[in-house]
Amino acid sequence: VSLSLERIDAKRKLKYLYRKRLIGRYTKIIMATRGVKQLQKLRIVYCEHGGSSASIREFISSGKIVSFAEKNPSVTVIAQLRNGNHPYIKGQYLTGNSKQICIKNETVPRIVKVVHMLNNTSGRKITKLGKSTRTATPSIQGVWTPMLDISDSSFQVELME
């Protein structure tokens, strides 16, 4: 079963704009991550007899995948039958990356969460942006101690002209 809906070929448009020098390479990267949906194809692979695929079969037969495909016309949704194997969902992104998540013996609400998670991510690996700060010098304000309790002390503020 293949649910292919009309989708916008954003990657081809970006290549055309880049070739005609209407946008630069850096702009292309920003547009691809901020202005264009990243998920291109969502492939659901399941078995028609296996017990581990029972909830994904229920998910497909309930029509939730059809409503997802109607809400996201830029995503091609493919339901592929593969007997004798555990089910998984694979998302392919504009960047060329793909994410594959095993949904063996998962519940229908968990499958819905996985589908929405794949739809809302960029397909890139999660990387740490910075390192933790370590310093040899302590804070200018001094080191906090439990004896430094300023909540009980009163402050007198006087206005001067």
Q: Average pLDDT, stretch 89-114? A: 93
Give the residue with greater pLDDT, 116 vs 147.
116
pLDDT of residue 13: 62
Q: How many domains is the chain built from?
A: 2
pLDDT at 53 over 90: yes
Distance CA 49, CA 67 (A): 25
d(CA 33, CA 27): 10
Tell me the C-alpha distance between 24 and 29, whole Å. 9
Helix boundaries (H) for 23-76? 25-30, 54-61, 64-71
Tokens of 68: 């997802």
CATH code of the domain in which 43 resides: 3.40.30.10
DSSP 131: P
pLDDT at 31: 37
How high is the pLDDT of residue 62?
Answer: 93
The answer to whether residue 66 sits within a structural domain is yes
Range of the domain at 32: 8-37
